[in-house]
Structure 1
Amino acid sequence: MLLNCFKVCLLLFYIEYASHIILESFGQILELDEGDVCKRTLDNSQPHHICRHLKDCVAVHESLKKRNYPRICSFVGFEPIVCCPSYNKVTPTTSKITLTPSKSGTSQYAAKMCNEYKKLPFDFLSLGFHEVNKNQNKNLNEAYYKEFPHMALIGYGDSENSITWDCGGSLISNRWILSSAQCNKSGKSANFARWVLLGLINTDWIDDKDRQANLYEIEKRVLHKNYRPTSMYYDIALFRLNREVEFSENIRPICLNSDHLFNPTEVIATEWDQNVTVYSNNKKQTKILQKSMLSTISENECNAVYSTGVNKQYGIQISGDSQICTKYVEDTCVLDTGGPLQVKNPGGEFTTYTQIGIISFGKSCGYPGVPSVYTKVSAFISWIEENVWK
């Protein structure tokens, strides 16, 4: 009964709010998408306002009762996306989720494919050199050529000559890339993910030969049906390439962890760090593959940080069932959404790794002490298998 009353009241809010917008402020729609920043605060220590569904913004519900109408970002059908203060309290749609864990050994395809990937030939002596990261303020290490052959760059743009590389991912089969749902679109242009580059560790290396051999188009994008930009749960996506990948020493898939009880303490994050070279007339931006050695922390320890001070801007509770947290490391920031969190496979296979997480969100530069959060791969192993191998 209470739930039905809430729905009726919310519907009345929608009707009244939509009428107000049409009659008084239709020309002031911000034309922003869900999750975009709609108002920047003057004090950088305070979180900005974010575009959210009306039903997800408790602060706006209180304002509507007083006939104070917020700015509107856009509409999804008849539902307004409103400019919501980021001190917004956690609502049922952003509360902690609980998933049914995948038990060890229940994976039908991921484990089998991992054994096949481990058999791919590799000459240890052919391991290449690394690129020097010119940004000395980063606590990162340079990745060697062929060291992480599953790494993918995800690009946005209408043509091969206008690509911007804004996200990371990992090759998990001869046709699929695993990434973050946030990487489905990028930037204010709202371009969909369209390109994938494999086999390189430096975007300066891209020439006509590389484009022909290592550049792929994305022909299908699959986001988890429960993903919502207003919360960071279910932040997982799959991108299908337009042609099969030919495996080599510098391009080969990563294994996927299907054991929900596997909780390593030491892990490796790989990301595309950006270097900027200043020329006389312009600046050249180059993406270079880096690796970070990190330590995981518990769900409780992670939540203790995210529930205090300015970190409340995320408005969620970390879920150990579906997310992994790593300890804050000084002078590093999460720059490359979608990249893998991984561990090296036992047995001496130098270039085979098992992915346990997907870079989702974490501290932006200027918020010290905030852990990084990753989507937990084992929680979604059945969903991955159904889309990739069935």
Structure 2
Amino acid sequence: MTGELFSYFPICHRNIPVNYRKLPSIVRLGILISERFILTAAHCVVRDDRKLPSIVRLGKIDLLGDSDNATAQDIPVEERIIHPEYKSYKLGKDIALLRLARTAEFNDNVKAVCLNTSPQIRSRLLISGWGLINRTTEQRSRFLQRAIMEPYDLNKCNQTFLESPSRIAIYDAQLCALSNAPAPSSTCKGDSGGPIQFENRRNDGRTPMIVAGITSYGRGCRGSVPTIYTRVSSYLSWIEEIVWR
């Protein structure tokens, strides 16, 4: 098998997305949405200077430990499908699918997540991943990190990024989020392609996680600046046409 191990693909396990990165170099994430498909950010799979993903690993929580190796699933990637309107020099339509070579085996550790079908999102959002926890040393977390975020007004978000050196425009098919914690958190290098989610409290007492967006872009891992996510509800038709046709 050639190429690099494309892991950190989140799955629903104890109501949080989890997975594992074996190689110490570039970390990428994604979201298991069916037995054969993973949803991720387009910019994670189109970089010319990187080998294309060849394997995903599911069912692994501890980045370095061996305790859950027996339940992990390594599955080859059969095809990458990038949104046809994605442009690498823009932030819009930053979404892609990976078709697996065989079906994932669902169990207590590996489950597909639900996607948000409404443009409306809850006020309390959860980000998670194994991205950098120290930018100076390039240290990644061994264990899954989580942080609470809140939706950030799209017009204010657009103004923030248009006034930045990159002068990036924000679109309706994106969403922005910001941490209001005293020590604000943010996504960082290695978290791209992962989910931003909210709890769906049901009458039967269950609280499944619903994916509202895909981590797309941030400014220097700064918790004081909003981060940008691809809004999945804007791309349901495209996803459904490929995954459930």
Q: Compared with structure 1, are the counterparts of its residues 200 and 153 closer, same or farther at alpha carbon in structure 2 (3 Å cutoff)?
A: closer
The separation in 2 between residues aligned to 1:368 and 1:295, in whole angstroms, is: 12
Normalised by the size of structure 1, how large is the TM-score?
A: 0.52
SS class of match (1:194): strand
- Paired AA for residue 224 in structure 2: G
> What is aligned with 1:263?
121
Q: Please state if 1:371 is matched with 2:226.
A: yes
Structure 2 residues not aligned, in runs of 5+: 1-11
Structure with max Cα Rg? 1
> What is aligned with 2:79?
220
Once the two structures are superposed, the pairs formed by residues 68-217 of structure 1 within 5 Å of their partners are 146-148=13-15, 150-153=17-20, 164=25, 166-185=27-46, 188=49, 190-206=50-66, 210=69, 213-217=72-76
Q: Please state if 1:288 is matched with 2:135.
A: no
The separation in 1 between residues aligned to 2:92 and 2:139, in whole angstroms, is: 35
On the 8 A contact 2:54/2:76 being kept in 1, the answer is: yes
The separation in 2 between residues aligned to 1:332 and 1:213, in whole angstroms, is: 28
Structure 1 residues not aligned, in runs of 5+: 1-144, 156-161, 277-282
- Report which stretch shifted further, 331-340 or 229-238: 331-340
- Paired AA for residue 169 in structure 2: Q
The separation in 1 between residues aligned to 2:34 and 2:237, in whole angstroms, is: 15
Q: Deviations over 1:340-368 (max 9, x none)?
A: 01111212324x21111000001214x56
1:249 deviates by 1.1
Q: Compared with structure 1, are the counterparts of its residues 193 and 372 closer, same or farther at alpha carbon in structure 2 (3 Å cutoff)?
A: same
The separation in 2 between residues aligned to 1:202 and 1:185, in whole angstroms, is: 27
Q: Deviations over 1:252-307 (max 9, x none)?
A: 011011122x232211111113468xxxxxx9966421111101111111112112
The separation in 1 between residues aligned to 2:81 and 2:169, in whole angstroms, is: 25
Higher helix share: 1
Normalised by the size of structure 2, how large is the TM-score?
A: 0.81
The separation in 2 between residues aligned to 1:152 and 1:387, in whole angstroms, is: 24
Q: Compared with structure 1, are the counterparts of its residues 375 and 341 closer, same or farther at alpha carbon in structure 2 (3 Å cutoff)?
A: same
Q: Please state if 1:386 is matched with 2:241.
A: yes
SS class of match (1:196): strand
Q: How many residues align?
A: 225
> What is aligned with 1:112?
none
Higher RCO (CA < 8 A, seq sep 6+)? 2
